[in-house]
Structure 1
């Protein structure tokens, strides 16, 4: 029997596309026919992975290197209900264009399975009863922390304590408040999907991301996710994807210095790095007099002379592949990107996380709750707080021991084989 073709779909955000392209590479290597659907700027990377490529169109095809200009609310709104409303609304507004392209692809590959990352809503209309081609199997791919509420959990994790309430009572109260706060975003999504012919009713939009696909494959291990007493049978924790293969990147001349003293890796992500005073500059300042080598990668951003104060014990590069760097470092300071944090844990490296927006506070909370580092509880930490946190992680061996425990779990997982089993019906 011929194996079913696979369509991989992602919103045009680097942090969402990168794991999809990584998965595409592995699926192609397994002999599968793969088509990637995403923003047109990612065509070369998809083709390099051996996949066919179909670009999105209209508002779904954007360049996330201009995200601050295109979606200024990302930098203007503080974390909270207004930010979540705007984020879910943005994802929803891309769905009609995503769905139109996806239906064209499925018309040519009607037996395909579709794997889409969490924020790609272009599969939703047919999952909610709209006319059109419903894939033989729709698989959600969790590229950021689970947003699913539960009897003892909120979309952000365990509920904050409340006087007079047990864990379940606190979770129920928080989830009811969140559903009310997201009622506008949920209603907007319902209206957009109904306009495309959907007939079924959406759950609260944060839960819908996980519950609508036939199967939801979360890219994590159980030891880095909160246990659930009521996990739906469609939820699978499949492990994080293996590190990407080496690129043609050439190490800089200072690379041998990495073996001469303790190393602190520093990243502010690929999108949220418009203002390097959020995390990069405070970290450089905090560690300027420490006996460490600080290596900062700026996610492809170029800086002009004078943009940063760079002390003598720091090396700053526009781009450094973390697959090459992280095995050589002692601690990672990060703004909390889900993929980067899990890559550090894959290599057994503890972390200091400054998560201020999007899913990053939830990532930072997991780092602290599972004992693999320190949560600075802000996206713009004070210099002294960064220095104190880095020294603590370097000096307390429990963080590294726990990170190494999780490393063993990540290495034992076989997410590609598991995803293939899900695609083929296992």
Structure 2
């Protein structure tokens, strides 16, 4: 048995995977303390972990974060919004995360740390600030890998280049990527200086990957880009399975999935569903006259939908994805890394529609590996959706490519991988 602290910023998509890892460690006999946001208290205690809440700027309710900060939506989509998100969601909590982690390590200096890679609370000590470092620090990477590499950029290899020309182009593009995120680096540097860290803050994503002892990336190499300079501390861990749904979670129309029509699932995820007019509603309209059964998982009450639900569509607030995906022929998604990979792990091709956070990087991988189509927008038109769905359903090579990824994902066990990295 080992003593393990698990930590994550209070964002659903970053916290839940870490708590799923914590649950696996608890079941294997480890003593786990969960340093997470207040709204995850019950979830942490239910898995058998000791719950310790984040506090101050490190604790917020991500369901209200955007509505409480309307100035964020006034920023142009792209670098300005992305820097705002990184600074206000992840960097702003550094001081409070640091203080909380130091208290826990004072209590148990031999504890190991399993932290979401965007948890910045251990960065000050890693860069020379006074304080304790855990016996072993494993960062769980939930988002697409965006490290420097001579063979690729965060959005994939630059097409049409080879040899030294490709290397120079990739290095230039990666340097530009760091320059775009310089406001985030500067914001982190200010906090590090406050906490007494003498070493300079590297570019944000270099810090994210280089400071921990080990990285456990929740993906597989077959869904990453080819790399010339792989990270020495990186281990591909596969993905966590979808949480079991069970019969109580099935809607009344579940048996309709037994029809002979192709099933197209549509989702905007669990957080980015404040405006279903971005993807779900256009998809329902676009596919209303197609010979498919559309299943829309809204993450919200169906009453919020504008307009009637087409006859060939079934909608629900939540759907047990572990039981739905094996019966789906195509997923239309906003491109979140978790949901996209769950579909691919079930052998389901994807139409990805994302333009913010990590979503373009996920969608670029979908296109690169030909396991679906990247529409390169968060607000696709009905015509774009119809064409993409028709293309993927009509071309068996997409399904075959997704099937190869299903075999790749099946070979990994993320809990065993993380446990091994703690030794």
Question: Is TM > 0.5 for Structure 1 vs Structure 2?
Answer: yes
Moved over 6 A (4+): 160-165
Q: Which of 13, 16, 19 is equivalent to 1:21?
A: 19
User: How far did residue 174 of structure 1 move?
Assistant: 1.5
Q: Secondary structure at the match of 2:155?
A: coil
Q: Which of 45, 59, 62 is equivalent to 2:60?
A: 62
Q: Is the 8 A contact 1:79 1:358 kept in 2?
A: no
User: How far did residue 201 of structure 1 move?
Assistant: 1.9
Q: Is 1:99 matched with 2:92?
A: no
Q: Is the 8 A contact 2:218 2:239 kept in 1?
A: yes
Whole-angstrom CA distance in 1 between matches of 2:158 and 2:99:
39
**What's 1:42 paired with?**
40
Q: Is the 8 A contact 2:276 2:305 kept in 1?
A: no
Deviates more, 1:69-78 or 1:97-106: 69-78
Whole-angstrom CA distance in 2 between matches of 1:163 and 1:244:
43
**For this pair of structures, how many residues does the alignment match?**
421
Whole-angstrom CA distance in 1 between matches of 2:323 and 2:57:
35
Whole-angstrom CA distance in 1 between matches of 2:306 and 2:66:
19
**What's 1:189 paired with?**
188
Deviations 1:2-27 (A, max 9, x none): x3211111111111112112111211
User: How far did residue 242 of structure 1 move?
Assistant: 2.8
Q: Is the 8 A contact 1:266 1:334 kept in 2?
A: yes
Which ranges of structure 1 fall in alignment gaps of 5 or more residues?
none
User: How does 1:22-421 map onto structure 2 within 5 Å?
Assistant: 22-90=20-88, 91-159=90-158, 166-246=165-245, 249-260=248-259, 261-299=261-299, 301-304=300-303, 307-421=306-420
Whole-angstrom CA distance in 2 between matches of 1:63 and 1:323:
27
Q: Is the 8 A contact 1:159 1:174 kept in 2?
A: no
Deviations 1:317-352 (A, max 9, x none): 111121221111111010011011111111111110
**What's 1:7 paired with?**
5
Whole-angstrom CA distance in 2 between matches of 1:237 and 1:306:
39
Root-mean-square deviation (CA, aligned residues, Å) is 1.9
User: How far did residue 163 of structure 1 move?
Assistant: 12
Whole-angstrom CA distance in 2 between matches of 1:248 and 1:266:
21
Which ranges of structure 2 fall in alignment gaps of 5 or more residues?
none
Deviations 1:74-106 (A, max 9, x none): 544334221232222222111111111122222
Q: Secondary structure at the match of 2:289?
A: coil
Flag the 1:418–1:45 CA change in 2: closer, same or farther, 3 A.
same
Deviates more, 1:30-39 or 1:351-360: 30-39
Q: Is the 8 A contact 1:57 1:97 kept in 2?
A: yes
TM-score w.r.t. length of structure 1: 0.94
Whole-angstrom CA distance in 1 between matches of 2:99 and 2:155:
32
User: How far did residue 244 of structure 1 move?
Assistant: 2.3
Deviations 1:184-209 (A, max 9, x none): 32122122112112122222112211
Whole-angstrom CA distance in 2 between matches of 1:303 and 1:72:
25
Deviations 1:298-331 (A, max 9, x none): 12x2243653441111111111121221111111
Whole-angstrom CA distance in 2 between matches of 1:117 and 1:76:
29
Whole-angstrom CA distance in 1 between matches of 2:110 and 2:162:
53
User: How far did residue 125 of structure 1 move?
Assistant: 0.9
Q: Is the 8 A contact 1:161 1:170 kept in 2?
A: no
Q: Secondary structure at the match of 2:393?
A: helix
Deviations 1:201-222 (A, max 9, x none): 2221122111111111111111
Q: Secondary structure at the match of 2:92?
A: helix
User: How far did residue 247 of structure 1 move?
Assistant: 5.3
Whole-angstrom CA distance in 2 between matches of 1:71 and 1:6:
34
Q: Is the 8 A contact 1:88 1:205 kept in 2?
A: no
Whole-angstrom CA distance in 2 between matches of 1:68 and 1:244:
26
Q: Secondary structure at the match of 1:399?
A: helix
User: How far did residue 230 of structure 1 move?
Assistant: 1.0
Whole-angstrom CA distance in 1 between matches of 2:373 and 2:314:
23
Q: Secondary structure at the match of 1:175?
A: helix
